[in-house]
Structure formats: structure tokens, C-alpha cells
Structure 1
């Protein structure tokens, strides 16, 4: 049971972090005019906002939280079962 929870936790963490990394904005995306030479800044229509540097942190967050919770549960359950066997 403990091993299953630990493996599930690691899998959820890996998927959550992969989703977060996939949603990361490209460094060339900028809004407005006047970006540095070589950037993809060719101007934008009014109201266009370039994504913030931390907007991608929310993507995959529920999976990462569930993964950490599964790992914590596996650790506590393993500790309790070990102590129950010793005592």
C-alpha cells in the first residue's frame, strides 16, 4: 500500500511539473512595440498583454498538490506501520 501511494505520488508530481513546464511562456513573447533587436516583438493590438512570468505556475497545480499529499500519506502510513510492528 505504501509503495503504491509513493509511486502514485511521484507520477502525479511528474505529470504536474511537466504540464507546468509546457505552459511556460516563450521568452520571445512581448507586448507593445520597441522590443530588443531579434525579439518577436512586432507590435500588438491594443489590449494585448504578454503573459506574466509566473502565470504558468497555476497549470498542473492540483496534480502537484495531490502528488505531494500522496507522498506525505505514504510516509506517514509507512512510519505508523513500522512503529506498530516494532511496538
Structure 2
């Protein structure tokens, strides 16, 4: 069973500490969109800029690639990405 970093708690005598971790995420997202001219980069950029980024949380095209790359992102965490959370 996976345990999550939560408030300090005792676990079989071990003291747990809450930490904040910056996961170094760098990835690409593939989108399928309809355009008038597939060679017109300006048109493509305009359509993508008009996409409501606040709705990405429910957009399967966004999360499809993120899910594929999550393991890679986590494996690249270093001590510099971690800080103790002071309550």
C-alpha cells in the first residue's frame, strides 16, 4: 500500500515529515485540431491560443502524454526539488 506525505505522524515508531516536491515537468502535448490550411502556422497557433487552458484538467489529449511521461519526471527529482514543510 502506497503512503502519502501527510502531516507528521508516527508509523511503527518512524517519524514522518511533510515535504513539498517540485517535479521537473517538461513534456509535449499532442492535439488534434481542424484547420483551414495545415501549412499556416499562424492559424494553428491562433486556434491553440483560443483553447481554454483552464479546461485542460478534463482534456484527455492533455493528460494522455502527461500520464506516459510521469514516471520519467519523478525519476528526475533531485534533493534541490524537495523542501521540508514547516507547519
Which structure's CA Rg is the greater one? 1
User: Which structure shows the higher strand fraction?
Assistant: 2
User: Which structure shows the higher helix fraction?
Assistant: 1
TM-score over 0.5 for the pair: no
Task: Give TM-score, length-normalised by structure 2.
Answer: 0.28
Task: Give TM-score, length-normalised by structure 1.
Answer: 0.28
